Amino acid sequence: MPNYDTHVLSGIVTYPIAVLIGELLKVYAKLPIELTSTALILGYAFYVLGSDLPDMDHPDALIHRGSKPIVSVAAGSAVFLWARGFVHMNPAWLDPVVSWVAGALAGLVAWYAFTWLMPKHRGIVHSLLFAGIYGLLAFLLVEYGLKMSTGEGIFVGLSAFLGYTLHLALDRSVKLV
Segment-wise mean pLDDT, segments of 10 residues, the chain, 177 residues = 91 98 98 98 97 89 90 96 93 95 97 88 88 97 95 98 97 90
The closest of 109, 156, 115, 116 to 135, measured between CA atoms, is: 156
pLDDT at 119: 79
Q: Is 37 helix (H, G, I), strand (E, B) or coil?
A: helix
pLDDT at 61: 87
The pLDDT tens digits of the residues spanning 64-99 come to: 889 899 999 999 999 999 999 999 999 999 999 999
pLDDT at 118: 83
pLDDT at 107: 97
Q: How far is CA 85 from the centre of its chain?
A: 28
pLDDT at 57: 85
Question: Do 47 and 162 form a contact (C-beta atoms < 8 A)?
Answer: yes
Question: Do 126 and 57 form a contact (C-beta atoms < 8 A)?
Answer: yes
Q: What is the sign, positive or negative, of the torsion defined by CA atoms of 60, 65, 67, 72?
A: positive
Distance separating alpha carbons of residues 9 and 71, to the nearest angstrom = 24
First to last CA, the chain: 20
Q: Is 35 helix (H, G, I), strand (E, B) or coil?
A: coil
Question: Do 51 and 7 form a contact (C-beta atoms < 8 A)?
Answer: yes
- From the DSSP assignment, how many helices (H) and strands (E) are in the chain? 6, 0
Backbone angles phi, psi at 176, to 5 degrees: -70, -50
